[in-house]
Structure 1
């Protein structure tokens, strides 16, 4: 299914008792009728075909599904899609593009903060929100603020270096 342009709504219906919901994802308005039990993660991946946000544990423990809802980082697997009605949702696809990387995306490449890449989208989305949160200067404080995002490859040192580079702390 092609991604709708900015000036068209994506109309997807669920005829058997769905809930009308409007989501604004990466600047695109989507008018949907959703199963009230559908998570934001499943809606992004399965309905809107935005697969950059990964499904890891599906229990809010790994952070692979981190997105921004109204500029705050959330685990998309723990948010019902209907609860994001009329909210601005940003996924990794909306953060930057291959032609114009977000500074964190470029820093992750420069500092090799991605290894296998599965957790990378969630790590970058969490770090992008962290840039706007009050946090201390030390690596330990950044490590604590990023503790909701697990990297099974163990690239934590490189991830912290990338974040601190963008924050101007290196």
Structure 2
């Protein structure tokens, strides 16, 4: 059985590393560590980790990062993840860079969000990016994500062409 993850970065990497059957993971402007709380799934507990050992994962990764992300050090964390896989002889990943996009790379045609109130931080957070470049990145990323999943997942019951 093939499964895909596209979630909060650290959570997606933990799922791909520790759960069986995850064959494709898309990570967008995230982190490669889970430093806040343990992750529980059935009888599995993944404690907070300084670095998630993604080299254990058997699936494929797509790392999408924005170089103008002002909320998170996405470019740094994406490079660390790719370097870790490469150091372990892995080639099951691809890195997609968007030079002028901000933090929230979402599905195509979502509005650009420069800043917003962050409930956990309890203040306004600046996400960065330039509106036009960010919107173009979302369009491009959506196509890349769909093609990545199409390539790495069993698509027998899906009509992928209707999604493109």
Report TM bin, short chain.
under 0.3
The structure with the largest strand share of the pair is 2
Q: Scaled by the length of structure 1, what TM-score is found? A: 0.24
